[in-house]
């Protein structure tokens, strides 16, 4: 296996706790990658020899972003719904039906091309791992189809048959399908099970329904995560903690008991500030979560309804400007936080043995991610070829 020595790293974010706060930074750094793994990390002056060398001329390097929440397999867009929201319409999930119709009507080839373009868009902005959910099929064949397509580009696939109750179906019938035949078809194609949990009367699933979905998914070998507290301080977060979900995502509206529950658990609070931006909602109280000791992740939620942005740098900038996170906290949440939300100790960190998933900045420091919002300074660093 050939080894590549990367030199000229002006600032290296390792996220290795052994290297100290913040972010396990190493100045004037180098690293060696062998195949898809990191073999060595440290000060450039101590770097070993390798087969090939790449000089980054003072640029900053960090672990590639881990986007732990997206809905990338869909057709159509909802720009008109977005425009209506900007003139005061609230978001209630009702628009999901339009994406379901467009997605069902698309061929595999069309969906594959749309997905490939979106994955390339993420990589061009420094993302190296993306989780992708189903949820725009809402029948057995289409949910399985979306997961099959997602599985072609990531191992982090999530069954979200319980996104909303499709038009024309009774809740009871649909819940039976989601926990029965649809689950049986989808479980072999997914790692995770997710549910959109809100108080009864919304398009989503109430506490008991959501619990049933997660229990059935777990019995089929899937690991739980939850769309929680997006539209109200509902039951989602506490359900997520109660079932030991890897992550409670959104956390837009949190009661004090939700913060306490997250802080006392292994469930990661995954914040999606692109959604608040695109739905004109209040931002989650990241400061309170961090100060309470919760683990926080940042992700895009890239989807046609609530946030059609694939940009982790944008999310980092929002987290700093709008949620009171420091640049170091935001970068940590977008890398190692996402890795924790996906239970992946092999990513989000750069140390010997971890995956050589790298992002490089056309800038001398990670601080520029928030300091230069909207400027395309980040991209995935490809070492082989």
Site of interaction with ligand NIG (CB under 6 A): 93, 95-96, 99, 196, 227, 230, 275, 301, 303-306
3-state secondary structure (DSSP) of residue 222? coil
Q: Which is nearer to ligand NIG, 153 or 275 (CB)?
A: 275
Shortest reach from residue 135's CB to ligand NIG, in Å: 7
161 φ, ψ (degrees, to nearest 5): -60, -30
360: number of CA atoms within 13 Å, CB side?
20
Two tokens, residue 48: 């070993």
Smallest gap from residue 317 Cβ to ligand NIG (A): 20
Interface with Fe ion (CB under 5 A) = 301
- Smallest gap from Cβ 162 to ligand NIG, in A, equals 10
- Nearest distance in Å: CB 303, ligand NIG: 5
| Shortest Å distance, C-beta 227 to ligand NIG | 5
Q: Classify the phi-psi angles of 325: left when phi > 0, otherwise alpha if psi is within -120 to 50, otherwise beta.
A: beta
How far is residue 57's CA from residue 127's CA, in Å, rounded to a whole number?
22
Identify which of residues 306 and 354 has a Cβ nearer to ligand NIG in the complex: 306
- Checking phi first, is residue 351 left (phi over 0); if not, alpha (psi -120 to 50) or beta? beta
Picked from ligand NIG, Fe ion, none, the partner binding residue 304 (CB below 5 to 8 A depending on kind) is: ligand NIG
| Closest residue to Fe ion using C-beta atoms | 301
> How far is residue 341's CA from residue 44's CA, in Å, rounded to a whole number?
32
**CB-wise, 15 or 306, nearer to ligand NIG?**
306
C-alpha distance from residue 238 to each of 179, 255, 274, 341 (Å): 21, 10, 23, 16
Q: Indicate the residue among 143 and 301 with the shorter CB distance to Fe ion.
A: 301
Nearest to 96 by CA among 241, 230, 251, 273: 230
32/273 Cα distance (integer angstroms): 34
Cα–Cα distance for residue pair 28/382, rounded to 1 Å: 20
Closer residue to ligand NIG, CB minimum distance, 10 or 93: 93
Smallest gap from Cβ 1 to ligand NIG, in A, equals 40
- Give CA separation, 20 vs 108, 171, 216, 307, 353, in Å: 47, 51, 42, 35, 19
The residue with its CB nearest to ligand NIG is: 305
CB 350 within 8 A of CB 13: yes
Nearest residue (CB) to Fe ion, 11 versus 258 = 258
> Closer to ligand NIG at the Cβ: 99 or 309?
99
Task: State the minimum distance, in angstroms, from the CB of residue 104 to Fe ion.
Answer: 19
Query: Taking CB within 5 to 8 Å according to partner kind, which of Fe ion, ligand NIG, none is near residue 106?
Result: none
As a whole number of angstroms, the longest Cα–Cα distance in the chain is 67
157 binds, among Fe ion, ligand NIG, none (CB under 5 to 8 A by kind): none
Give the span between the Cα atoms of 129 and 119, in whole angstroms: 10
Residue labelled with tokens 């090939």: 52
The entry of ligand NIG, Fe ion, none that residue 96 binds, CB within 5 to 8 Å by partner kind: ligand NIG
Which residue's structure tokens are 């995935």? Answer: 380
Residue 261 interacting partner from ligand NIG, Fe ion, none (CB closer than 5 to 8 Å by kind): none
Query: From Fe ion, ligand NIG, none, which one binds at residue 64 (CB under 5 to 8 Å depending on kind)?
Result: none
Shortest Cβ distance from residue 292 to ligand NIG (Å)? 24
Indicate the residue among 234 and 327 with the shorter CB distance to Fe ion. Answer: 234
Distance of alpha carbon 221 from the chain centroid: 21
């Amino acid at each position: 296996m050939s080894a590549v020595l990367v030199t000229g790293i002006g600032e290296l974010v390792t996220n290795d706790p052994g290297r100290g706060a913040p972010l396990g930074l190493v100045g004037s750094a180098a690293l060696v990658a062998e195949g898809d793994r990191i073999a060595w990390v440290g000060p450039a002056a101590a770097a070993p020899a390798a087969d090939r060398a790449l000089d980054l001329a003072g640029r900053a390097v960090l672990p590639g972003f881990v986007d732990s929440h997206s809905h990338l397999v869909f057709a159509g867009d909802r720009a008109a719904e977005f425009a209506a929201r900007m003139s005061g319409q609230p978001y209630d999930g009702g628009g999901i039906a339009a994406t379901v119709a467009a997605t069902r009507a698309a061929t595999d080839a069309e969906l594959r091309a749309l997905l490939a373009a979106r994955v390339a868009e993420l990589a061009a902005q420094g993302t190296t791992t993306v989780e992708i959910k189903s949820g725009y099929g809402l029948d057995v064949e289409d949910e399985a189809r979306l997961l099959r397509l997602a599985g072609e580009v990531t191992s982090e696939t999530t069954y979200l048959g319980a996104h909303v109750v499709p038009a024309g179906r009774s809740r009871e019938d649909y819940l039976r399908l989601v926990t029965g035949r649809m689950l049986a078809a989808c479980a072999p194609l997914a790692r995770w099970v997710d549910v959109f949990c809100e108080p009864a009367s919304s398009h989503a699933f109430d506490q008991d329904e959501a619990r049933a979905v997660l229990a059935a998914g777990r019995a089929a070998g899937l690991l739980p995560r939850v769309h929680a507290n997006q539209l109200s301080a509902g039951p989602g977060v506490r359900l997520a903690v109660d079932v030991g979900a890897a992550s409670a995502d959104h956390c837009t509206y949190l009661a004090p008991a939700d913060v306490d529950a997250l802080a006392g658990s292994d469930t990661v609070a995954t914040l999606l500030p692109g959604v608040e931006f695109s739905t004109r909602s209040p931002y989650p109280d990241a400061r309170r979560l961090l100060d309470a000791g919760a683990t926080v992740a940042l992700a895009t939620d890239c989807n046609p309804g609530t946030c059609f942005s694939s940009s982790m740098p944008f999310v980092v900038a929002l987290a700093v400007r709008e949620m009171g996170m420091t640049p170091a906290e935001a970068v940590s949440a977008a890398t190692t936080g996402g890795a924790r939300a996906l239970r992946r100790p092999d990513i989000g960190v750069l140390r010997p043995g971890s995956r050589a998933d790298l992002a490089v900045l056309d800038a001398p420091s990670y601080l520029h991610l928030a300091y230069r919002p909207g400027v395309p300074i980040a991209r995935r660093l490809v070492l082989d070829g």
